A and B are shown apart, each in its own frame.
Chain A
Amino acid sequence: MELRINQKTYQVDADADTPLLWVIRDDLGLTGTKYGCGLAQCGACSVLVDGNVVRSCVTPVAGVVGREITTIEAIEADAVGKRVVSAWVEHQVAQCGYCQSGQVVAATALLKHTPAPTTAQIDAAMVNLCRCGTYNAIHAAMHDLAAGKESA
């Protein structure tokens, strides 16, 4: 089957029900997207499908044929994604960093749909787990982004 990932076309030989995550990571070698729980609970595997955040660990690959997939590797090619990464660095969000690919993707999805989200909208959208507890830094970065502040 044919997949569109990060503006490129890939020919993929995988079972139709294989989760997108494993095609991205193991078959295509794009390891920036992480495997956390495998149950769509933690959000470490978040990717964009047609601009919407999707948990790739439970998304059958056959379901995203013909859609435009964006992974963390291409997040800076998106103007909103680039702003998010800058804010993440500015606020020194990452500690271990394992969940941050998913956090940045989730933040990008929110801001693409809602450029100036309210606190309630941020809280509702930024629900990925972080075991380091970087939530405060994430929220500080999100509030800057929501307010249109540019990071250096």
Chain B
Amino acid sequence: MNTPDVIPGLSLGEPINLSRRRFLASTAVGALVIGFGLPLGSARVQAAAATERGTQVPAFLEIRPDGTVRLLSPFMEGGQGTHTAMAQIVGEELDADPATFIVEAAPPGEAYVVMENGMRITGGSMSVRMSYPVMRRLGALARAMLLQAGAEQLGVPVTQLTTQPGRVVHAASGRSLGYGELAGRALDMPVPDPAGITLRDPSQFRWIGKPVKRLDAYDKSTGKAQYSIDIKVDGMLHAAVQHAPRLGMTVGSLRNQSQVEAMKGVHSVHVLPGAVAVVAERWWHAKRAVEAIQVDWQEPTADSKVRGMPADFSSDGFRDFLAAQQGPARDDENEGDVAGALKNAKTQVEATYLQPVPQPWATGATVSPGALQPRRFAGDLAAQPGTRSVPRRHRQARRARPCAGDPAFAAAGRFFRPTLPV
């Protein structure tokens, strides 16, 4: 859930040529790592487009001196547990206990497009299904690099080495090295040819397919987990929005704009398509002010591109309209002799079920409000929302205000609205 740190001192608007030395010098912990959250636009991330999916080990994994494994997940954690699942899958092949993992959301970048359908999106119960072999291989590639590093450090053939969770072991001499001790050397290893990698026999799985405690349970029980609404940037202002009473209506005049602009804390008042907004230093001031605006809402014009909600719309009316529809019914599933089985049933139950129409979004409503943070990159603005599709939000942000550099996407997780297109 946390933001992959962008390396301090780098302007994301500039072409980035990041040396390993400069990276190491810039990390707070000075950890020896086999990988790191690559800055956007990095040559190494871009280069991944030309290689096989999920083989850019350094883009995904960092092993810290204490053996902690930091994994940048292509998928967003929203309560479904996918970050823990990724730790199970990668950890199984890396030979590292998922409990030693810290999983964070990966930034935009071709390296993280790991799904077999060529996409990167969190949804449709696809994350594990469509990245499973790739993420397994990723763990196995990293393990091979650690084994190679262990062979060099111990001065023995790699064939004499094996691993135990978190350690490279030389059984013949009884010596072993923790992954954290080898990570620095492993950094310099080339990523092996994926074709030469053997995956673990599923009968030997310890974590894949086994119950594992969620990695984020403690943080989420103590208020430490960060959501998009919690992100704060320097000099941040807050905006609050008053939406049109009905979809399709537009803003006419603001009857009391000057009074609202004079309200305490107000920075500015903005007219948006179908909404008005107030920006203030404090969100509470923005909310109070935007609620005070008296808007002359206009009905949609004939050429409106939005299919507006009629003024006489009501939930009950729409339900009755749907219930009165005639026409052929559609069988979603029809296996065997349904009619015969029903006819011969001892008990028959009839019922009418009403989906809570017409509020299909209500079933997917969250407690957490949607929130986004506009950020300034290289003198330009980009919006950073909570998201389940980092690449899509990234494109949208750039479209909204094309910027010279790439916004560092801290796509903070929140529970997904299951039915809301993102």
A contact residues vs B (CB 8 Å cutoff): 15, 18-19, 22, 26-27, 29, 31-37, 42, 44, 71-73, 75-76, 85, 88-89, 92-101, 104, 129-132
Contacts and interface: CB of A to CB of B under 8 A. Distances in A.
Contact of B366 (A73, A76, A98): A98
Interface string B191-235: 000000000000000000000011011111111111101101000
Q: Which of A31, A37, A99 has the most CB of B within 10 A?
A: A31
B214 A94 contact: yes
A132 B223 CA distance: 17
B78 interface: yes
Contacts, number: 102
B79 A26 contact: no
B373 to A, nearest CB: 13
A92 B213 contact: yes
A94 B214 CA distance: 9
Contacts of A131: 365-367, 415
Given A26-B238, A129-B367, A96 B222 contact: no
B123 interface: no
Q: What 6 A-B pairs are tightest by C-beta distance, nearest first?
A: A32-B223, A97-B220, A96-B79, A96-B415, A72-B223, A95-B79
14 contacts: A15-B264, A22-B282, A22-B283, A22-B284, A26-B282, A27-B282, A33-B223, A35-B229, A42-B367, A44-B367, A95-B415, A96-B78, A104-B221, A132-B415
Nearest to A87: B221
A29 B227 CA distance: 13
B170 interface: no
Contacts of B220: 94, 96-97, 100
Contacts of B226: 31
A20 to B, nearest CB: 11
Given A31-B226, A36-B367, A95-B415, A100 B283 contact: no
Interface of B: 78-81, 213-214, 216-227, 229-230, 232, 238, 264, 282-284, 365-369, 413-415
Given A31-B226, A34-B367, A95-B415, A88 B217 contact: yes
A76 B222 CA distance: 8
A152 to B, nearest CB: 11
Contacts of B366: 96, 98, 131
A36 B229 CA distance: 11
B282 A92 contact: no
A44 to B, nearest CB: 5
Contacts of B225: 97
B224 A89 contact: no
Nearest to B229: A35
Contacts of B369: 35-36
A96 B214 CA distance: 11
A94 B367 contact: no
Contact of A98 (B81, B283, B368): B368
Nearest to A105: B223
Nearest to A18: B284
Nearest to B264: A15
Q: Which of B80, B225, B264 has the most CB of A within 10 A?
A: B225
Nearest to A98: B368
B214 A98 contact: no
Given A89-B218, A89-B221, A98 B238 contact: no
Contacts of B227: 34, 98
B223 A92 contact: no
Nearest to B365: A131
Contacts of B367: 34, 36-37, 42, 44, 98-99, 129-131
A116 to B, nearest CB: 22
